[in-house]
Structure 1
């Protein structure tokens, strides 16, 4: 959910990470039904050697898979079988398993078979017809899967309908393989949490080094997409939860403008900052997935603002020469300086963009240091109001109805839910009043003013910019269930608080650990950001699949 507070900022500010048919396939479906256990401290024994086995679909794109289905090389059923078998082979094996997938869809193969029949009789519905997708476990599905935000408190609490974006995915012909693990409650529970841990799913691990954090809160979506457990994945973000785990897994992560993608049916933190977004291995796949996710939803009033601003096909903006003539700002004062090797990779990226025709200018965001405290106040108020509204809509059952109920559930189930860290944020949110409170109204007004007219809008207008760029964050740190996450800094907050768009793209590796570069834009700037990110991606070609190494290779240093 929320990014760390950079060194030197106010100690009272919020300082934690973000937040967000065959025999083999049948075996996978059964295997993932069991509850994940807490990770052990021993070294991995087999995951890295298993990962060395060749996988036919490794790094396959949506275009690749569609071409294969068109030619008859693949079927949707066959693709689903292959991905399910890979999940079974790699996600839960070894002493330190990835635990990126919290549950598989027992109907996935039947859905895929029906889509094959439809393709044969009527042709494909579009670019995602038959494409296997994984979605975060805070996105509701009214099927045989759970929707829990990783919490045992919501096991058995069935949503009345699919989330709007799930309806969009199904209508497009996507095959939802299952749900991904996440930082519980999208990482809005404790100030000392371990990203990627949930009471229901255990601790997700980074596929590039198994002792490293996957970042959060869309931890499982990031790891699963990076490990080629699906073609594309969907995450959600309040502040950093798409871009942070994407950067940590050498992915493309797109956090759309709030209102471009519906939030109805997604377990909330904040109606002013929440959004779902693509997490993919390429910019082209992110554009294809965004084309399906975007849409006006009568149940989410924020989407009305996208009328006339959304596009049916975002792939049309992909331009390998998109950096030519672009003006790009670099806000060094706030978002550089916390990790030297990360800065070095971004400086290389800047030089590459210059060589491709971009103009680079220094462009500090004058209000960036003032965003943390009002943002945190807004999130506390909105989490209480928005979560209780979601819980009320679940209908009959024994699940918590209020935030107080949830706190009590966690206390009662302390051995499973509070084994490693507490629920300070839930207590802080519970202490807040209604959204009519003057403190909330002032904090919200401050967020909008500081992030928009005095923030991103001001700096981009002053320098006539197409986008800003900054390191997404430092390389992923070690998993620490005792003390919680250790983060040096990130650049997610301006876009998060303003509700504007941002996209992260692989920028290279430090000791084999991924580093991402973020392009940050104004409201509805997805076409521009996709164009710039695609041009940079095509020029740099940094993405490489993970090796499932036990730990970082300290012989590698920084590399591109």
Structure 2
């Protein structure tokens, strides 16, 4: 237990605190929501050199005080009552305008006329939104270095070392770090293919729900094709279940609300507690694994499979995707042309929909010109020249090449992907290590399926890279 020098109540270690533990402490009066918010604000201030949190909600303490009063008089609304959370800087709550989402360096004024519905749900459940976490400029579509952010440099350096043991991939990395080091109990991100799963690789639980079970009006969607959805980063599976239950519902402006059977969330917590793995058949798609995985990862993975088998689960080896190899060949084209095209289309749709400033550009050339005038830019055009999505006509969602690649990928996922393979082998789920080459996650995104990442183990002490790895403190 810890206590700060401002007189707050004694609190558990914020780094390890879960929603379940925080809720128990709040219900039993060991501490209050005001105590929690003050402690997290102090922790955020102590770690501000990491530039993880970039915008704070000035009303957080007032909201916490109101929720404490309500709990004392009426009891808790839900397991989320009075729990602080951070959200990725891709969400645009009511009244938060400052800059464009996606951590863009462009001085664009965007304003939501009302809160996103998922935020309404969380607030109705009693959750406190502390603020927004940093992410790479344009979620990695700004330049080729995925950690780059002109607004607040991430991880000490504008060009950190390449991803490997100890570094985080994906645009949700700041949300993951915030949760891991105790800046909030949990955090929200957005999940495209492997964003949430990859960010959770280092000792967190990451969950991407089934796409069509979530609404998607409250954040900057870079893919009109429908693969992105809200993602959850927490410390336990139970915590993700509680947050998911808080968000779930039939929203009026959710174009997929017809696929949601009820406005009331299922009793996921009870299902989780009574889960019997002996009824499950688990597929292992070994063809999709990294050809040169870290041996420590695979050792832990094989041990985990034995643990699953010991519970009575059936392990189906080599439940491979027949379209996996072809999808690997397509993956580079999907990442470069398809995703950039979708990002470009969505960028201008959001600027039109949310913009309230005459400075907001309506076409790609104006984005490029505006970026050149941005005071945060360096004199060199090194970074601006990477803004391919703003400059080339080849990158467009109505482009013939884009259509052909997307259609081919969708055919592969439909006939040779996850659902087809599950049907063939009569599987309930797949289990993969973090050294999977991304094919399984890509297929899950194409098929709008759920993904969960859970901690597997620890690397031993010492340098864990391969002998060919290079330690580069700062890229040139």
Give the TM-score of the pair, scaled to structure 1.
Answer: 0.72
- Aligned match of 2:456: 507
1:298 aligns with 2:252: yes
Q: 1:255 to 1:401 in 2, by over 3 A?
A: same
Candidates 198, 201, 210, aligned match of 2:152: 201
Tell me, which stretches of 5 or more residues in structure 1 are unaligned? Answer: 1-21, 27-53, 475-487, 513-552
Q: 1:473 to 1:328 in 2, by over 3 A?
A: same
Superposition deviation, residue 261 in structure 1? 1.6
1:279 aligns with 2:225: no
Judge conservation of contact 1:380–1:428 (CA < 8 Å) in 2: no
- Aligned match of 1:175: 128
Distance 1:85 1:303 in 2: 40
Judge conservation of contact 2:367–2:390 (CA < 8 Å) in 1: no
Aligned residue for 1:388, secondary structure, equals helix
Q: How does 1:5-404 map to 2 (within 5 A)?
A: 56-89=13-46, 91-92=47-48, 97-144=49-96, 146=98, 148-154=101-107, 156-190=109-143, 192-195=144-147, 197-204=148-155, 212-247=166-201, 249-271=202-224, 272-307=226-261, 311-319=265-273, 322-341=276-295, 342-361=297-316, 362-371=318-327, 372=331, 375-376=334-335, 377-397=337-357, 398-404=359-365
Aligned residue for 1:295, secondary structure, equals coil
Aligned residue for 2:354, secondary structure, equals coil
Q: 1:428 to 1:393 in 2, by over 3 A?
A: closer
Aligned residue for 1:253, secondary structure, equals strand
Superposition deviation, residue 161 in structure 1? 2.4
Judge conservation of contact 1:222–1:246 (CA < 8 Å) in 2: yes
Distance 1:422 1:317 in 2: 50
Judge conservation of contact 2:368–2:384 (CA < 8 Å) in 1: no
- Aligned match of 1:464: 426
Distance 1:140 1:350 in 2: 41
Aligned residue for 1:317, secondary structure, equals helix
Distance 1:255 1:463 in 2: 24
Judge conservation of contact 1:260–1:310 (CA < 8 Å) in 2: no
Distance 1:444 1:310 in 2: 35
Superposition deviation, residue 321 in structure 1? 5.1
Q: 1:495 to 1:113 in 2, by over 3 A?
A: same
Distance 1:154 1:262 in 2: 28
Distance 1:279 1:122 in 2: 30
1:449 aligns with 2:424: no
Judge conservation of contact 1:100–1:220 (CA < 8 Å) in 2: yes
Q: 1:306 to 1:204 in 2, by over 3 A?
A: farther
Superposition deviation, residue 235 in structure 1? 0.8
Judge conservation of contact 2:192–2:445 (CA < 8 Å) in 1: yes
Q: 1:447 to 1:163 in 2, by over 3 A?
A: farther
Judge conservation of contact 2:139–2:146 (CA < 8 Å) in 1: no
Aligned residue for 1:224, secondary structure, equals helix
Superposition deviation, residue 25 in structure 1? 11
Aligned residue for 1:452, secondary structure, equals helix
Aligned residue for 1:178, secondary structure, equals strand
- Aligned match of 1:520: none
Judge conservation of contact 2:141–2:340 (CA < 8 Å) in 1: no
Runs of 4+ in structure 1 off by over 6 angstroms are: 22-26, 417-420
Give the TM-score of the pair, scaled to structure 2.
Answer: 0.84
Distance 1:133 1:318 in 2: 22
Q: 1:109 to 1:23 in 2, by over 3 A?
A: farther
Q: How does 1:420-459 map to 2 (within 5 A)?
A: 421-422=383-384, 424=386, 426-427=388-389, 430-432=392-394, 435-459=397-421
Judge conservation of contact 1:204–1:219 (CA < 8 Å) in 2: no
Distance 1:109 1:225 in 2: 20
Aligned residue for 2:179, secondary structure, equals helix
**RMSD after superposition:** 3.1
Query: What is the number of equivalent residue pairs in this alignment?
Result: 446
Moved more, 341-350 or 174-183: 341-350
Distance 1:436 1:210 in 2: 36
Candidates 332, 351, 367, aligned match of 1:406: 367
Distance 2:180 2:228 in 1: 23
